[in-house]
Amino acid sequence: MKTLICNDFKDTRSGFGAGLTEAAATNDSIFALCADVTGSLKMGDFKKAHPERFIQTGIAEANMIGISAGLALSGKIPFAGAFAGFITGRVYDQIRMTVAYSNLNVKIAGSHSGITVGEDGATHQIMEDIGLMKGLPNMVVINPCDYNQTKAATIAAAEYVGPVYLRFGRPEVPNFTPASQEFIIGKANMLNEGKDVTIIATGHLVWPALEAAAQLEQNGVSAEVINIHTIKPLDNDAILKSVAKTRCVVTAEEHLMNNGLGDSVSQLLCRHLPAPVEYVAVDDHFGESGKPFELMAKYGLDKDHIIDAAMRAIQRKA
């Protein structure tokens, strides 16, 4: 594995804004709805280019989901955007009954997800949203890792017919995936092949997983790194193929340990290929106010914790 260098840092929410604007330029069925956070979700360019297709609902997320359902029933493709904590937790009933149960073509865009909201504190740092959304029948759950992938994922979500939860974040992170990438919903990306341990990462934890793999290689450990950008549907084949080779797993996510990516991977392995699994995730805690990447380190969501988890997983192999 080559030495990791990335000089390009961008926030994933800007990738959402760019992807939404680009998709709408060639598809006049796309509408954007926002709960008074247009700047935070980088929807300003869409609003400027397509004011007739932009709806500012104010801080009324439940109403926004209802309006989105109506637009979908009229043949439109609505993107309903707000902070992840409010677009999922505050309006779960509306999403469940109006969007998922009816299998409507509504895209739910949750920004400022996870603990990297930082100084906004525990009330805004939702770390259970993946679990909430993946538990809904018909709902696709996407958690891209950088600006380029978020842009590509947004365009792919616009083309997909059915409910989608698209999760992205606030801070600037390494932008390392190709700008011209093909984003296939439900198809994982193999980032580094290895034979000793499989590291399955999503969102902001993908780059630290690559950093961990590079350091492990220096210590004689060959780590396979898989980017699971789509948590539901999960790429079962890619995971099983990798674990059949390595026989142990680390999952890494900016989410609670309960009901996140790690749970989905463990359920898959329990049914088809039992193997040791170590989790890099938040262990049943709310967050707190602080600088984003200091919080990531405090709550065990960084390169060093991934390395430690990989060594534990290897030691547990039969």
Q: What is the pLDDT of residues 178-203, one digit of tens each?
A: 999 999 999 999 999 999 999 999 99
**Statement: residue 1 has pLDDT above 90:** no
pLDDT in tens, 119-152: 999 999 999 999 999 999 999 999 999 999 999 9
Residue range 5-34: mean pLDDT, rounded: 97
Query: Which amino acid, 215?
Result: Q
Q: Is the dihedral of CA 303, 118, 126, 109 positive or negative?
A: negative
Tokens for 291?
């600088």
pLDDT class for 2, splitting at 50, 70, 90?
Answer: low
Is the omega angle on the peptide bond into residue 233 within 30 degrees of 0, that is, cis?
A: yes
| CA–CA separation, 285 and 20 (whole Å) | 33
Strands (E) across the chain are located at 9-11, 30-34, 54-56, 77-83, 107-111, 140-142, 164-167, 172-174, 189-192, 197-201, 223-227, 230-232, 249-256, 277-282
pLDDT, residue 107, reads 98
pLDDT, greater one: 1 or 157: 157
User: What is the value of pTM for the model shown?
Assistant: 0.97
Give me the DSSP letters along 179-207: TTPPP-TT--EEEE--SSEEEEE-GGGHH
- Residue 247: what residue type? R
Residue 294 pLDDT class (50, 70, 90 cuts): very high
318 pLDDT above the threshold of 80: no
For residue 242, pLDDT beyond 90 = yes
φ, ψ for residue 208, nearest 5 deg: -60, -30
Active site residues: 61
Helix axis angle for 206-218 and 303-315, nearest 10°, is: 60
What integer pLDDT is reported at residue 295 of this predicted model?
96
β-strand pairing of 230-232 with 140-142: antiparallel
- The span from the CA of 280 to the CA of 194, in Å, is 19
pLDDT of residue 5: 87
> Measured between alpha carbons, how far is residue 300 from residues 119, 207, 285 in Å?
18, 15, 12
Can you give 5-24 as a three-state secondary structure string? CCCCEEEHHHHHHHHHHHHH
Residue with tokens 């380190």: 297
Q: What is the pLDDT of residues 146-162, one digit of tens each?
A: 999 999 999 999 999 99
Do residues 195 and 246 lie in contact, with contact meaning Cβ atoms separated by under 8 Å?
yes
